Amino acid sequence: MTTRQDCDVRDQEDPLRELKSLFELPPGTLYLDGNSLGVLPRTALARVQEVIQKEWGTDLIKSWNTAGWMELPRRIGNKIARLIGAGENEVVVADSTSLNLYKVLAAAIAISKAKAPARRLIVSERSNFPTDLYIAESLAAQHGMELRLFDHVDELPGLINQDLAVLMITEVNYRTGYLHDMKALTAAAHQAGALAVWDLAHSAGAIAVDVKGADADFAIGCGYKYLNGGPGAPAFVWVNPRHVEQFRQPLSGWLGHAAPFQFTTDYQPAPGIARYICGTPAILSTAALECGVDAMLAAEPLGGMAALRKKSIALTELFIELVESRCGLKAPEDLGVRLASPREAAQRGSQVCLSLNAPLHEAGYAVVQALIARGVIGDFRAGDPTRLAEVPHILRFGFTPLYIGFADVYDAVEQLRQVLASGEWKQAQFNQKAAVT
């Protein structure tokens, strides 16, 4: 069994350990929630101060040109492209994940309709992050289509057929951490004549995404989780070059125009991915996002996303080993903790979810609160209260290899063990407010 000392040794030998110094980590805290809101990059404060004092305060309107504000969506897009296997000038930063999904799903539907008007299914996962389903529901209603949801990936072969217009999946499931096979599912969708739209919210910056290798059609993702861009940071959008000029996405704001400063009355979409920009970008939030992305790119000389993914797997494997051997079935005292994420590393993102066995079915929220009181920050996602055995409450822990180490994993498990063994979670206050995923 791995000891605390073993973990210290692994940290010392970890070639990525120095990346931790790029972040301001909260004192006295073990932060395992970077899959919800990433930590503060060390450069962000000074950078945003510069934007506020010099670029906004002093240079004002000139800064659209002199400080490169106008270029930010493309410049940061090009940096994110390197993290997700996209090419130069194929990604822009804009708006929110929900809005970018609206753009690409509308485009995918239009392309499908032009080619095969009879296809009327949009297929997604029932446990997909709800905003994706809400946006799909809106577009399905607008276009007389149907959003059909699968519960398990085994159902997909029966759904990928001549009725399918668009397969829309979040690569890493936000609840379970299940990692879908982007390449295989995209190929299956294509073989059936359909398109594949991928949400990378829990994979960009967490695993080695390869949108072009997978030949995906569209992808969008989040700036404030593994990219550490700050609360509500703008999101990003990638469109396969074969589609990008096929369609005017419906959110046709002026900065997606071919010549925004000619102020023409008719919309002429910009060439390439720039047409997926809509209105004026929120510069303060966008500038902070660039700091997060730059911190991620600092891993490139150390092996980049491949090295980060390798460490991420090592961290999650260790977490599972320690939880099971110290709090679960293999422990001297079974504390009722069970793995709710895939056991196979290749099917798992950079998070591990746990559930609690009966009679602790209902205790998840209180256990997470008790852990937070001890400075271990994970989060809680409610199950289905009417059938907790099948859809249990989830204790969710994200392992960001940029700033989490092996000893951190050991300490987190030890805290979990103490919370459960002591029963102190029974005192944790119930507070129905939950935090943003």
Please list the active-site residues: 129, 199, 224-225, 396
Asked if 317 and 345 touch (Cβ cutoff 8 Å), the reply is: yes
Distance of CA 325 to the CA centre of its chain: 29
Both structure tokens of 130: 């709800």
Q: Is 213 in the site for its own copies (CB under 8 A)?
A: no
Q: Is 122 in the site for its own copies (CB under 8 A)?
A: no
Measured from the CB atom, the residue of 213 and 250 that comes closer to its own copies is 250
Beta-bridge partner residues of 195: 166
Q: Is 224 in the site for its own copies (CB under 8 A)?
A: yes
**DSSP characters over 105-167:** HHHHHHHHHHH-TT--EEEEETTS-HHHHHHHHHHHHHTT-EEEEESSGGGHHHHSSTTEEEE
Q: What is the CA radius of gyration of the chain?
A: 22
Q: Is 53 in the site for its own copies (CB under 8 A)?
A: yes
Q: Min. distance of Cβ 160 from its own copies in angstroms?
A: 20
Helices (H), 283-427: 283-297, 304-326, 364-373, 406-422
Q: Is 285 in the site for its own copies (CB under 8 A)?
A: yes
Q: Is 138 in the site for its own copies (CB under 8 A)?
A: yes
286-315 binders of its own copies (CB under 8 A): 286, 288
Q: Which of 257, 326, 348, 396: binder of its own copies (CB under 8 A)?
A: 257
Q: Min. distance of Cβ 345 from its own copies in angstroms?
A: 26
Asked if 37 and 432 touch (Cβ cutoff 8 Å), the reply is: no
Residue 406: closest CA among 274, 311, 330:
311
Q: Which of 36, 186, 203, 341: binder of its own copies (CB under 8 A)?
A: 36
Q: Which of 7, 37, 166, 274: binder of its own copies (CB under 8 A)?
A: 37
Asked if 163 and 193 touch (Cβ cutoff 8 Å), the reply is: no
Please report, for residues 136, 147, 251, 299, the alpha-carbon distance to residue 109 in angstroms, rounded to integers and kept in the order given. 10, 12, 15, 37
Q: Is 173 in the site for its own copies (CB under 8 A)?
A: no
371-430 binders of its own copies (CB under 8 A): 372, 377, 379, 381-382
Q: Is 202 in the site for its own copies (CB under 8 A)?
A: no
Q: Which of 283, 315, 331, 366: binder of its own copies (CB under 8 A)?
A: 283
Q: Is 278 in the site for its own copies (CB under 8 A)?
A: yes
With CB under 8 A as the rule, give the number of residues binding its own copies: 89
Q: Is 137 in the site for its own copies (CB under 8 A)?
A: yes
Part of the chain binding its own copies (CB under 8 A), chosen from 114-122, 229-237, 297-305, 325-333: 229-237
Q: Min. distance of Cβ 2 from its own copies in angstroms?
A: 28
Q: Which of 16, 76, 80, 99: binder of its own copies (CB under 8 A)?
A: 99
Q: Provide the residue type at 57 as one letter.
A: G
Measured from the CB atom, the residue of 7 and 237 that comes closer to its own copies is 237
Q: Is 261 in the site for its own copies (CB under 8 A)?
A: yes
Q: Is 241 in the site for its own copies (CB under 8 A)?
A: no
Please report, for residues 2, 330, 337, 357, the alpha-carbon distance to residue 194 in angstroms, rounded to integers and kept in the order given. 47, 45, 41, 41
Q: Which of 21, 161, 162, 264: binder of its own copies (CB under 8 A)?
A: 264
Q: How far is 376 from 360, CA to CA, in rounded Å?
A: 20
CA count, 13 A, side-chain hemisphere, 361? 12
Q: Is 50 in the site for its own copies (CB under 8 A)?
A: no
Measured from the CB atom, the residue of 39 and 122 that comes closer to its own copies is 39
Q: Which of 2, 43, 89, 98: binder of its own copies (CB under 8 A)?
A: 98
Please report, for residues 178, 185, 216, 349, the alpha-carbon distance to residue 213 in angstroms, rounded to integers and kept in the order given. 20, 13, 8, 18
Q: How far is 364 from 419, CA to CA, in rounded Å?
A: 12
Q: How far is 349 from 400, CA to CA, in rounded Å?
A: 10
Q: Min. distance of Cβ 303 from its own copies in angstroms?
A: 27
Asked if 322 and 315 touch (Cβ cutoff 8 Å), the reply is: no
Both structure tokens of 318: 């260790």
Q: Min. distance of Cβ 433 from its own copies in angstroms?
A: 5
Q: Which of 24, 294, 321, 362: binder of its own copies (CB under 8 A)?
A: 24
Q: How far is 43 from 41, CA to CA, in rounded Å?
A: 6
Q: Is 144 in the site for its own copies (CB under 8 A)?
A: no
Q: Which of 3, 5, 21, 142: binder of its own copies (CB under 8 A)?
A: 142
Measured from the CB atom, the residue of 344 and 430 that comes closer to its own copies is 430
3-state secondary structure of 260: helix
Q: Is 366 in the site for its own copies (CB under 8 A)?
A: no
